[in-house]
């Protein structure tokens, strides 16, 4: 009887050890992915911002802009390897109590690496034929201390986010990535000649964008918990002289959004640790104990059997 129970316990022990190994090595690679169904709201704000108002045909200064970005997953367009997110961004001028702009982007990306995919009606605003590549809305799960290429929705091409060290954001570990974009031509605009001191009815000017984007990313989840965007957009004449400032200022993730992101990351990291570390450890220890006890009972039962058959 002891030998039978020992065999059963040994079998259970082996099962728990195999389970521990599967949880530790399989779950991170195959089961941990960005969700298909998500709904998050993040906010940025900035003070003392200057921008050109089309309605007033003049530059407004000292404005406080509030940015609200709503990200919603499209599970029907997703798959085990692909997620699709719609991102609606609305910018409001709280100083002048007027809307500044709004936009809608749609991203398809790999559920582990965050690499953008060109499918599923992905688009930037109304530009449906933009070729997207590299990272998009999220950094990879298990972000490394290295530079990454990130798709910029203003330039419509990837730029380099340079790794700039490890820090903490509201108590959680984050990697700092800095993207510096020099003045870059992004298009042209026609404006009334009177705005730039010209006698011509309309003048076509070159539009330039430059800025610095700083992301603080939790390496475990790949989620940017805080972002700072310094940007300058202006219209220049053919000689390179800036004639109109379209936008100048710095936007930063609000403290409330940072706290919300940190809370979400802490929850996700805890679940991940239980799935890939704590549970496998407990399962492995339990399996080892059962295996030792079972083996001991098998040996003991065998000895009893031999002693009984000596007579």
pLDDT per residue as tens digits for the range 219-256: 999 999 999 999 999 999 999 999 999 999 999 999 99
Does 246 lie in the same domain as 142?
A: yes
User: What is the pLDDT, as a whole number, of residue 33?
Assistant: 86
* pLDDT (average), residues 263-286: 70
Q: What is the pLDDT of residues 114-154, one digit of tens each?
A: 999 999 999 998 777 899 999 999 999 999 999 999 999 99
Instruction: Copy the structure tokens of residue 198.
Output: 């010209």
Inside any domain, residue 224? yes
Number of domains composing the chain: 2
Return the pLDDT at 127.
Answer: 76
Same domain, 262 and 298: no
Assess if residue 293 is contained within a domain. Answer: yes
Query: Does 192 share its domain with 284?
Result: no
Place of tokens 């910018």: 91
Residue 121 lies in a domain: yes
The C-alpha atoms of residue 85 and residue 265 are separated, in whole angstroms, by: 19
pLDDT of 305 reads 47
Residues 92 and 240 in one domain: yes
In a domain, 261, yes or no: yes
Pairing of strands 242-253, 39-53: antiparallel
The answer to whether residues 115 and 237 belong to one domain is yes
* pLDDT interval class at 70 (50, 70, 90): very high
Instruction: Tell me how many degrees the CA angle 44-72-155 measures, rounded to the nearest 5.
Output: 60
| Adjacent-strand bridge partners of 114 | none
Q: Would you state the pLDDT for residue 294? A: 54
Check: CB of residue 193 under 8 Å from CB of residue 199: yes
DSSP state of 3: H
Take residue 89 and report the two structure tokens written for it. Answer: 């961004």
Owner of token pair 């398809």: 108
Q: Which one, of 241, 201, 214, 274, lies nearest residue 32 by Cα?
A: 274
Residue 55 has a pLDDT of: 83
Q: Between these two residues, 186 and 2, which has the higher pLDDT value?
A: 186
Per the listing, tokens 């559920």 go with 111
Query: Is 88 domain-assigned?
Result: yes
Query: Over 80: is that where the pLDDT of 62 sits?
Result: yes
**Beta carbons of 19 and 12 less than 8 angstroms apart:** no
Q: Is residue 307 part of a domain?
A: no
Is position 309 within any domain? no
Specify the DSSP class assigned to residue 135. Answer: B
In terms of domains, do 152 and 281 share one? no
Based on the domain organization, do 286 and 232 belong to the same domain?
no
Rounded to whole angstroms, the Cα distance separating 267 from 221 reads: 11
Q: Which domain holds residue 289?
A: 2-24+272-302
**Do 117 and 228 lie in a common domain?**
yes
Evaluate if residue 9 carries a pLDDT over 60.
no
Asked if 51 and 171 sit in the same domain, the reply is yes
User: Where residue 19 falls among pLDDT bands split at 50, 70, 90?
Assistant: low
Same domain, 81 and 7: no
The per-residue pLDDT for 268 is 77
Per-residue pLDDT, 21: 60
Q: What percent of the chain is modeled with pLDDT above 70?
A: 78
- State whether 250 and 297 are in the same domain: no
C-alpha closest to that of 10 among 300, 311, 308: 300
pTM, 2 dp: 0.82
Residue 12 lies inside a defined structural domain of this protein: yes
pLDDT confidence band for 170 (50 / 70 / 90):
confident
Domain identity same for 62 and 142: yes
């Amino acid at each position: 009887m002891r030998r039978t129970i020992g065999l059963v316990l040994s079998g259970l022990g082996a099962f728990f050890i195999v389970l521990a190994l599967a949880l530790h090595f399989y779950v991170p690679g195959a089961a941990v992915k960005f969700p298909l169904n998500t709904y998050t709201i993040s906010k940025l704000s900035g003070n003392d911002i200057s921008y050109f108002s089309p309605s007033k045909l003049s530059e407004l200064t000292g404005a406080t802009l509030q940015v609200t970005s709503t990200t919603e997953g499209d599970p029907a367009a997703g798959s085990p390897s692909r997620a699709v997110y719609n991102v609606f961004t609305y910018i409001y001028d709280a100083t002048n109590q007027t809307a500044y702009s709004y936009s809608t982007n749609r991203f398809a990306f790999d559920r582990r690496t965050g690499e953008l995919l060109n499918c599923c009606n992905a688009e930037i605003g109304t530009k449906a034929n933009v070729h997207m590549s590299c990272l998009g809305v999220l950094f990879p799960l298990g972000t490394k201390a290295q530079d990454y290429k990130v798709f910029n929705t203003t330039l419509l091409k990837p730029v380099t986010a340079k790794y700039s060290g490890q820090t903490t954001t509201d108590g959680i570990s984050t990697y700092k990535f800095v993207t510096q974009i020099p003045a870059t031509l992004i298009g042209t605009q026609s404006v009334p000649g009177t705005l730039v001191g010209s006698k011509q009815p309309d003048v076509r000017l070159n539009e330039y964008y430059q800025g610095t984007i700083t992301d603080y990313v939790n390496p475990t989840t790949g989620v940017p918990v805080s972002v700072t965007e310094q940007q300058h957009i202006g219209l220049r004449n053919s000689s390179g002289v800036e004639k109109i400032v379209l936008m100048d200022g710095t936007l930063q993730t609000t403290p409330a959004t940072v706290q919300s992101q940190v809370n979400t990351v802490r929850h996700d990291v805890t679940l991940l640790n239980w799935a890939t570390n704590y549970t496998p450890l407990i399962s492995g220890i339990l399996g080892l104990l059962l295996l030792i006890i079972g083996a001991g009972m098998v040996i003991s039962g065998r000895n009893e059997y031999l002693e009984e058959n000596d007579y």
